[in-house]
Amino acid sequence: MKLYIHTDIEGVAGMVHFEDRQDDTTEGYYRRLRLHKLLTGEVNAAIEGALEAGVDEILVNDSHGSGYSILFEELNPAAQIIHGPLTRQPFWTPCLDETVDVVFCLAQHAMAGTNGLLAHSCWCVNGDLYFGEGGMAMALAGYYDIPAVLITGDNVVTAQCQELVPEMEAVVVKEALSPYNAKSWTPARAQEMIREGAKRAIERMDEVPPFRIEGPYTLGLVGGPGQQPSSPASGEDFRDLVFEVLCRGYDYDLQQLPVWPMEPGRRRPVLSKGQRRAQEQK
């Protein structure tokens, strides 16, 4: 049985502020390192629970920010990991396809415009369906008829995902008191809860339906529930449409993606944001 673990970081127990992006400072560096250790602990806890329940193949998607937030060398060796810069990868959930049997959504945050910790990103699908990044991972799994059986994070994101699929298992590691304050369990307790939740989720996976949205699709990113996307993408292929919207909204740049698989002599240079800006100014 093959498990795909989609991860973010804002939903980790202990995270109450956006990650310090100035990681060239010593303080920022150590703050980042601690946070990544907490995330890695929660991912390992989920892996342990899944292994106990009989999963024998695990793929972890390191999907926050740099695409390199999980401490690779500390990951449970039963799993493989997908990592690397998000804006250069072929898709938001690489290798999530029909070969996967079941999906976990770990350390997720609430959708934009709602009262969760560090809430951001709100998808509007087909005009009246709203969900965050966790919901989108569930929908991409559902597109292949795969159930997403576990959600972890604060009390708000877990409720938002269970609103989409009430049968899924939820582990609440902290309660939002404001966008930047929480009442939280400690890492040891949160990880124990996640291990147990992961085990239960696999044992109960047959009771959890995939989150399927019927096409044709119209979708886009908005500031919060109730809003309409200014220029939605429309069509039949949900996965392609999601990627199209991400390219527009999150500085994914199709023109800058390396050609892959590569044909001899056809590889285009991959430029950094700074190099691109410099080229545009010429």
The binding site for Zn ion (CB under 5 A) comprises 8, 64
Q: Report the alpha-carbon distance of residue 161 to residue 132 in Å, rounded.
A: 9
Nearer to Zn ion by Cβ, of 86 and 171: the residue is 86
Helix (H, G, I), strand (E, B) or coil at 210: coil
Report the run of H or E that residue 200 belongs to, with start and end: helix 187-203
Nearer to Zn ion by Cβ, of 51 and 138: the residue is 138
For tokens 């990592």, the residue is 83
Shortest reach from residue 77's CB to Zn ion, in Å: 25
Nearer to Zn ion by Cβ, of 51 and 176: the residue is 176
Shortest reach from residue 242's CB to Zn ion, in Å: 16
Nearer to Zn ion by Cβ, of 92 and 185: the residue is 92
Helix (H, G, I), strand (E, B) or coil at 140: helix
Shortest reach from residue 247's CB to Zn ion, in Å: 18
Shortest reach from residue 8's CB to Zn ion, in Å: 4
Angle at 220 between CA 162 and CA 133, to 5 degrees: 35
Q: Which residue is nearest to Zn ion (CB)?
A: 64
Residue 125's DSSP bridge partners are 129, 219
Nearer to Zn ion by Cβ, of 150 and 205: the residue is 150
Shortest reach from residue 61's CB to Zn ion, in Å: 12
Nearer to Zn ion by Cβ, of 35 and 50: the residue is 35
CB-CB contact of 65 with 11 (8 Å): no
CB-CB contact of 19 with 120 (8 Å): no
Shortest reach from residue 62's CB to Zn ion, in Å: 11
The answer for 15, left when phi > 0, alpha when psi is -120 to 50, beta otherwise, is beta
Q: b/e string for 136-167 if b means 16 or more Cβ within 10 A? A: bbbbbbbbbebbbbbbbbbbbbbbbbeebbee
